[in-house]
Amino acid sequence: MASAKASVHGLSLRWSADSYTPTILDLWGIKSLVPVHLWGPILQLPPGLTALEIAAGKPLVVDDVAGAAGASLDSMAAAFDELVPHAVSAVKTRASYWAAWKCFVSFLFMKGSVLEAFPASERAIWAFLLQLLLCGYSGATFDKFYSAIIERHKEWDGFLPIPPAKFRIWVKTVQAQLGIPKKQKFTLTAHHLRAMMLLETVTKVQVSDKALVSLGTIFALRPSEIIALDVCDLLFDLDGPGTLALEILKRKNDKEKRGLRPRGCKANDARLCVIGAIQAYLKVAGLSVSVNCTKKRWTRSKCDACGRLFRKTHGFGNAFRPTEHPAHAIDRDLISKALRSLLARTGVEASVFTPVSMRRGGISTAIAANVPEEVRKLQSGHKSDSWEEYAELADIKMLYAFSKAFNF
C-alpha cells in the first residue's frame, strides 16, 4: 500500500495514498490522544493466524497451557480467549474490517473527535457515512464499513448506542440510491479452454499453467481452493480407470469442513484431457504422494509431508522447479498470471479475465450442456441458488427464447 507522511494536529503520521478518505496507516501514531483503557478497542490490530487456525484439525499446542497439568483456570480461559473468538472470521475478513475501521477512526481524528469511535456515537456514524458519500464510495463498499464497526464493538464488548438494525437501514438507504451494479465479469468458455489446451507446451511453466487452468475450470474451483490443494488431494482412479476426484477439505460455504469430492474424467482427445495435464505437471515438477502423508490420519488438515499441489517456483522456463518447502503455495496473483499467459498465447485480450473466470466458465458450460442443477451443485459445492452469480449463458441467442415463446 502506497503511503505519504503528513503532520496533522501536531502529529507526524503515515497516510494511505490509495484511500478515497484520508486514512492513517498506523493508528498507534495517535495513541497520545486515546486513554490507555481504549487503546485496545480503538488502536489494536486484529490478530493474524491463531494457534487454532494453524493446527487446523491437528493436535493443538498452546505454550505453557495445553501440556501443563497444573495450569490454572485463569490461564486456560485466557488461552481460549486468544484462540477461538478471533477465529470466528477468516484472517482475510479480519484484515478487511481493520482497513475499514482505520478509515473510520482516521475520519474522527481529523474532526478532533477520535474518542467517539468507541463506543461509536450516532453523530459520528452519520458524519462518517456522509463522508463516504462525498468521497464517492460505491454502494457495495458501505457494507464493509458497516460490518467493520459492528464487529469491532462485538469483539471488544462495546455498547453501540445505535441498534445494528437501525444502522443497517441507513446503509441500505444509501445503497438504494447509489445502486449496487454488478461488475462485468468475464467467463472462460469451453472454446477458450480448448484453444489453451491445444497450445504447444515449450516450457515446464506452461505445463504447470495448463494443469492449473484446466483443473480450475473443469472442477469449477474457487481460487482459494486451487491454492489449498495438496498433492495427496488428487484421487486418481477413485471411481475406476480414467477418473479423478479432488479432496476439497473446506469451501467458502462449508465452515464445518464436511468436504466435497468434485469429479473429472478422461477426455476422448488426449490433448484436451485435464487428467493428462495434471499427470504431466506432476512429472515435470517431480511431485508425488509422500510415504509420510498425514492425510489419512488428519483428514481435514493440510499435509506437511506431501505439500501443496501448485507452488511458487524458482526461475522461469526450463529453470522451473518447486520451492523446496512444500508449503510454499501460489497466490491469487500467480493464478491470474497463469491464466492470462495462456489466454494471451491464443490471441485473446487476457487482461479482462480473473481467476474467478475459471469457476464461472465451469458452471456456465455445464448449464449450456443441460447438466442438472443438483449435479452442478455437487461439482461446484453450492448449497443454494448462489451459483447463479457465476452463471452466464454460453449462447447469447438463448436470451431471446422468452420473447420467441409468444410465436409472434
pLDDT at 334: 92
Computed over every residue of the chain, the mean pLDDT equals 82
- Residues 8-32 have a mean pLDDT of 87
pLDDT at 138: 84
At residue 239 the predicted structure's pLDDT band, cuts being 50, 70 and 90, is confident
Top pLDDT among 337 and 17 is at: 337
Rounded CA-CA distance 258/91 in Å is 20
Q: Does the pLDDT of residue 393 top 80, yes or no? A: no
pLDDT at 387: 44
Cβ atoms 194, 152 nearer than 8 A: no
- Report the alpha-carbon angle 200-206-207, nearest 5: 85
**CA distances for 65 relative to 61, 76, 85, angstroms:** 8, 6, 18
At residue 59 the predicted structure's pLDDT band, cuts being 50, 70 and 90, is confident
Nearest alpha carbon to residue 234 among 251, 215, 254, 259: 215
pLDDT at 300: 77
pLDDT at 362: 85
Query: What amino acid is encoded at 279 in this protein?
Result: Q
pLDDT at 372: 74
Query: What amino acid is encoded at 17 in this protein?
Result: A
pLDDT at 37: 94
Nearest alpha carbon to residue 135 among 174, 182, 176: 174
Share of the chain above pLDDT 90, in %: 32
Q: Does the pLDDT of residue 265 top 60, yes or no? A: yes
At residue 302 the predicted structure's pLDDT band, cuts being 50, 70 and 90, is confident
- Residues 271-299 have a mean pLDDT of 91
Count Cα atoms within 13 angstroms, Cβ side, for 407: 0
Rounded CA-CA distance 86/281 in Å is 38
